[in-house]
Chains A and B, each alone.
Chain A
């Protein structure tokens, strides 16, 4: 076993951590000590091989889903904070989803992960809801929302989708409430009769999934 200072000198030379005087002295030692020179050569080769085979940047599997899940968790945290502040009776959630076929088309080109619509009783505006976040993996598609006072609804708009064929029949569904399942990171949407009409979640492989009920 080497003395610790010898070990340190060896790796400091390999890693270029010596000053000029130390380097000259160590390299003089290398010329006189073939065994040490061989060890330095082997360790240098190993170091070079490690750098070549351990990239500092890698492709993230399911990269879009990686971002989406972060967005969902951030939104969930915001919701939890809002829940902590809200009164027990102050909740209502209203989401206007335009139509089933429309949403299916959207799902093919852009999945908009919309945060939560929550009434903020503290500001005392009973009809207003708030979009906490939205995200479109397809950068050509822009998501925006606004509150339609006449309809007393929050509207989600996705700009940039492919045109809907003229002969496609579009039927509207009025989503009255949503339920979140934090552990599954899923959202279920219900119509006025309390029927679940759509669930956004992920499958066993972690891929985003939209399930019409």
Chain B
């Protein structure tokens, strides 16, 4: 499962903050929100592909976590627990959207203010044309992911972004290992088809 963020020496531990939060200390919970909002938002954004909805769902995940804090037993890391909540919130949203007949998500997709790819790419070290190609490729990748079904998008995010092992993905979804592998294979094949033209020159 996703590991918690490494804490600097002297930084208050998750465990301490969670205990204080469980006692009703909203300041302690605010520190946890600040610590993990970037990772939770990234996950919801990659799954939802909509900045506004991802922002709301990430917030919803933290609210649900606050409500569920009394049941948190410390037998798992806080981030792992929080991540599971955020994943379920986002995936439920995707499923409801599909049930409502909004199978294609592209229409509502918004451009993220930060060029996709720019945050994962060292800034300042790239020639302008290389940076542009990276940004364009990142954009094409996001567009291709937005066309995947929720199930395929889910395994791509869990594997490629979060780096979860197959067994962890199977436990989180939940489904069999074979299903995880099949979904990963076909999700990647579909992305290959979507990105065929850039593939020949950029990949």
Cβ–Cβ contact B120 & A54, under 8 A: yes
Q: Taking the complex as formed, is B121 at the interface, i.e. its CB lies under 8 A from any CB of chain A? A: yes
Q: Which residues of B contact A4 (CB under 8 A)?
A: 178, 182
* Number of B residues, CB within 8 Å of A: 57
> Per-residue 0/1 for B159-184: is the Cβ within 8 Å of any A Cβ (1 yes, 0 no)?
11111011000000000001001101
Q: Which residues of B contact A8 (CB under 8 A)?
A: 178, 181-182, 185
A74 to B181, CA, bound (A): 40
Q: Which residues of A contact B91 (CB under 8 A)?
A: none
Contact pick for A58, options B59, B66, B119, B141, CB 8 Å: B119
B44 to chain A, nearest CB (A): 10
Find the A residue at minimum CB distance from B199.
Answer: A42
Contact pick for A59, options B119, B163, B202, CB 8 Å: B119
Cβ–Cβ contact A45 & B33, under 8 A: no
A67 to B141, CA, bound (A): 30
* Number of A residues, CB within 8 Å of B: 40
Find the A residue at minimum CB distance from B161.
Answer: A54
Those of B62-76 within 8 Å (CB) of chain A:
62-63, 66-67
Those of A38-81 within 8 Å (CB) of chain B:
42-43, 45-47, 49-63, 66-67, 69-71, 73-75, 77
- A8-B182, A49-B137 given; A43·B188 CB < 8 A: yes
Which A residues are within 8 Å of any B CB, using their own CB?
Answer: 4, 7-8, 10-12, 15, 17, 42-43, 45-47, 49-63, 66-67, 69-71, 73-75, 77, 132-133, 135
What are 15 A-to-B residue pairs whose CB atoms are below 8 Å?
A11-B185, A17-B165, A43-B188, A43-B192, A46-B188, A53-B142, A55-B42, A56-B162, A58-B42, A58-B119, A60-B37, A66-B55, A69-B59, A70-B29, A74-B29
